């Protein structure tokens, strides 16, 4: 069957159309995305601005038409951190539903972590043993770990690259004292619940997903996306630490010129690099392996699992 996943993230709205069959890997058939930057369309009170609401509504309307044109039998639309944490979340969802006829669901942070974990587990399989999964989005950081198909711990922190960029880098490069405070606060937030993962035992395989981790991995020497999904890509802790001070001193244009970095995300890569560095350090990881599957694939796999139970 052909299914559409409409992912309203903190950075990007992304429709991915899959050909999906039980027991087989979901195969992408079509993709449409727009850089909505909802995490940056928030007012002082934490509400999505009317400009952000209008952009989201227009994107959802266009994506639904495209999904119908591509023959989708079902469309799953969900929003993550930017909408989830907005003080006017219900009003945003009501507006989109009234103008498009489709109501977007909101994933909780733990559900986002759980579904991403499911996708990574299916990609790497049981040979990964106790698996740890880390995902830096625009609005939040998701962490999950476990030895089964469902994680035994899964949580979300408001440490997305877009959110931090908006808070700490809105006026350009912070001074050294502010950068030190940023580093300290990120690490304190992650370390607060790190024990819930560490008590389960050491990780056999540590994995990262998301555009931020992929970009950092590419900067640190991984193969370009053109070489395919099955090339092993790593983010070594030592190489990231070598790059981090250089990234801090680069302009947005200089960062955008680096391999694997898109222009619309260059302004938040430094913030994301601070989060990635903290993850590697706090969980004592020498490296992270990059997984090409993430939340959208997890949503599809979860849906296929439920259909197979009904059959």
Q: Which residue has the tokens 């370009």?
A: 224
Query: How many Cβ atoms from other residues are within 10 Å of residue 98's Cβ?
Result: 10
Query: Where, residue-wise, is CATH 3.30.420.40 in the chain?
Result: 2-106
- Tokens representing residue 131 in the block: 């698996």
> In this predicted structure, what is the pLDDT of residue 306?
82
Q: Report the first-to-last Cα separation within the chain, whole angstroms.
A: 14
Domain 109-295: give its CATH superfamily: Exopolyphosphatase. Domain 2 (3.30.420.150)
pLDDT of residue 212: 97
pLDDT digit string, tens, across residues 105-163: 999 999 999 999 999 999 999 999 999 999 999 999 999 999 999 999 999 999 999 99
What CATH number does the domain located at 2-106 have?
3.30.420.40
CA dihedral 168, 171, 175, 179 (to 10 degrees): 20
Counting as low any pLDDT under 70, the low residues of the chain are: 308-311
CA 81, CA 79: separation in Å to the nearest integer?
7
- pLDDT value at position 310? 52
294 vs 132, 176, 188, 214, CA distance in Å? 13, 34, 26, 12
| Angle at alpha carbon of residue 115, lines to 295 and 33, rounded to 5° | 15
Residues of the chain with CATH 3.30.420.150: 109-295
Q: In terms of Cα–Cα distance, which of 233, 243, 234, 236 is closest to 274?
A: 243
């Amino acid at each position: 069957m052909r299914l559409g996943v409409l992912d309203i993230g903190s950075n990007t709205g992304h429709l991915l159309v899959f050909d999906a069959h039980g027991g087989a890997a979901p195969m992408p058939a079509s993709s449409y995305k727009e850089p909505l930057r909802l995490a940056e369309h928030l007012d002082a009170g934490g509400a999505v601005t009317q400009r952000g609401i209008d952009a989201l509504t227009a994107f959802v309307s266009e994506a639904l038409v495209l999904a119908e044109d591509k023959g989708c039998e079902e469309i799953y639309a969900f929003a993550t951190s930017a909408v989830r944490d907005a003080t006017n979340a219900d009003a945003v969802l009501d507006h989109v539903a009234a103008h498009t006829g489709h109501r977007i669901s909101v994933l909780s942070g733990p559900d986002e972590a759980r579904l991403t974990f499911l996708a990574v587990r299916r990609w790497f399989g049981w040979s990964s043993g106790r698996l740890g999964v880390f995902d830096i989005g625009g609005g939040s950081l998701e962490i999950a770990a476990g030895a089964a198909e469902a994680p035994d711990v899964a949580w979300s922190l408001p440490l997305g690259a877009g959110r931090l960029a908006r808070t700490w880098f809105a006026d350009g490069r912070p001074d050294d004292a502010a950068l030190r405070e940023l580093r300290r606060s990120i690490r304190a937030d992650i370390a607060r619940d790190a024990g819930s993962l560490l008590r389960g035992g050491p990780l056999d395989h540590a994995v990262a997903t998301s555009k931020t981790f992929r970009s950092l991995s590419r900067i640190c020497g991984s193969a370009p996306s053109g070489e395919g999904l099955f090339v092993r890509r790593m983010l070594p802790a030592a190489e990231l630490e070598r790059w981090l001070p250089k990234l801090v001193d680069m302009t947005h244009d200089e960062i955008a010129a680096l391999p694997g970095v898109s222009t619309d995300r260059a302004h938040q890569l430094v913030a994301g690099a601070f989060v990635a560095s903290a993850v590697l350090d706090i969980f004592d990881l020498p490296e992270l392996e990059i997984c090409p599957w993430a939340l959208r694939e997890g949503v599809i796999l979860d849906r296929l699992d439920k259909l197979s139970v009904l059959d």
